[in-house]
Amino acid sequence: MKHTFTLQELPEVAGKVLLEATTKILLFYGGMGVGKTTFINVLAQQLGVKEALSSPTFSIVNEYVLANEKVYHFDCYRLESEEEALDIGIEDYLDTGHWCLIEWPEKIETLLPDTVTKIELTKNQNGSRTVYIENCL
């Protein structure tokens, strides 16, 4: 599935992505500056997170607690090895059944479960973005 959108259309597209995702582990692929964190921020708002998300570049993971749910936002960009992800307990987070929104998942590829939703963002010449969604079961 794919959707092309402008910043104004992002909330609508984020809602579609949540409906199309068949897992709660969403992996975000795309180059630096393509808008992964912005996209995740809007997704989290759709899930009920009230505060603005900040990129967990230095902390690696941020946790947001909702009434009956949690949202974990990971940024694996600064990880030097999968060992560092194991040190923060990545496998425990992935096993919770809560939402795990992961930027730069290619850094921890072998630690990820087989059942995930892959989301790739690309920037188009006109400034719009295209999101490609692939459910891996």
Distance (Å, rounded) from C-alpha 99 to C-alpha 90?
13
Distance (Å, rounded) from C-alpha 131 to C-alpha 120?
6
Q: Spell out the residues 6+ positions from residue 35 whose beta carbon is closer than 8 angstroms to its own.
A: 121, 123, 129
pLDDT of 15 above 70? yes
- Write the pLDDT tens digit of every residue in 88-116: 999 999 999 999 999 999 999 999 999 99
Q: Which of 22, 19, 28, 8 is nearest to 131 (CA)?
A: 28
Q: Taking the domain 2-136, which CATH number applies?
A: 3.40.50.300
Q: Where along the chain do its domains lie?
A: 2-136
What pLDDT band is residue 58 in, cutting at 50, 70 and 90? low
- Write the pLDDT tens digit of every residue in 115-134: 999 999 999 999 999 999 99
Distance (Å, rounded) from C-alpha 110 to C-alpha 22?
20
Enter the pTM of the model: 0.93
Answer for the pair 27, 102: CB distance below 8 angstroms, yes or no.
yes
What pLDDT band is residue 60 in, cutting at 50, 70 and 90? confident
Average pLDDT in the chain: 92
Answer for the pair 119, 93: CB distance below 8 angstroms, yes or no.
no
